[in-house]
Amino acid sequence: MSARFYDKYKNEIKEKLEKEFDNNKMLTPKLDKIVISVGTGFAMKDSKLIQNIQDTISLLAGQKAVVVKSKKSIAGFKVREDMPVGIKVTLRASKMYEFFDKLVCVALPRVKDFSGLNINGFDGKGNYNFGLKEQLMFPEIKYDDIIQSHGMNISISTTTDDDKKAHKLLEFFGLPFTKGHN
């Protein structure tokens, strides 16, 4: 079974993008990967909390998240080598489209006082980054299973180097941006 957003891309969005930008099918932008990451500096010494965050992100993504460990010691931040400093998971193919569908159609509409994502999250290379303040907006997360609420960064990579094309792609998928200048 293919993901609903992948079918939407193949049947609707791809054709719209080809008409809007160029007729070259190979240059049509598409989603490449989505990376979900959480900085766990607040929980470096608490292995139970690290495991809880890893389980939460794994549940959201539908695949196992990995613990990112520090490469060297930094005394000013009280970080030792091999301490857990983050959790991340990289989604591609059908899992990526399933998560993106869930994010756009279920999670973001559940955010209190949500007025759209900031248009300034593009990095100049066709990738979009934004942060979420907590994980409780996703329906599969149970409040009782959470030890501590935490935010996450979501990075959406596309196959284009042009922010304008990437913005249009994400807009066609229904990612809600704030109204303003492009």
Say which CATH number the domain at 86 has: 3.30.1440.10
The verdict on residue 180 lying in a domain is no
The answer to whether position 181 is within a domain reads: no
The answer to whether 97 touches 84, Cβ cutoff 8 Å, is no
136-156 pLDDT, tens digit each? 778 787 787 777 788 889 999
* pTM score of the predicted model: 0.84
pLDDT of residue 2: 57
Predicted local distance difference test score (pLDDT) of residue 180: 59
pLDDT digits (tens, 9 = 90+) for 1-39: 457 888 888 888 888 888 887 767 777 888 899 999 988
Which range marks the domain in which residue 132 is found? 4-173
Res 39: pLDDT: 84
| Average pLDDT, integer, range 96-117 | 84
Q: How many domains does the chain have?
A: 1
Tell me how far the alpha carbon of residue 76 is from its chain's centroid.
30
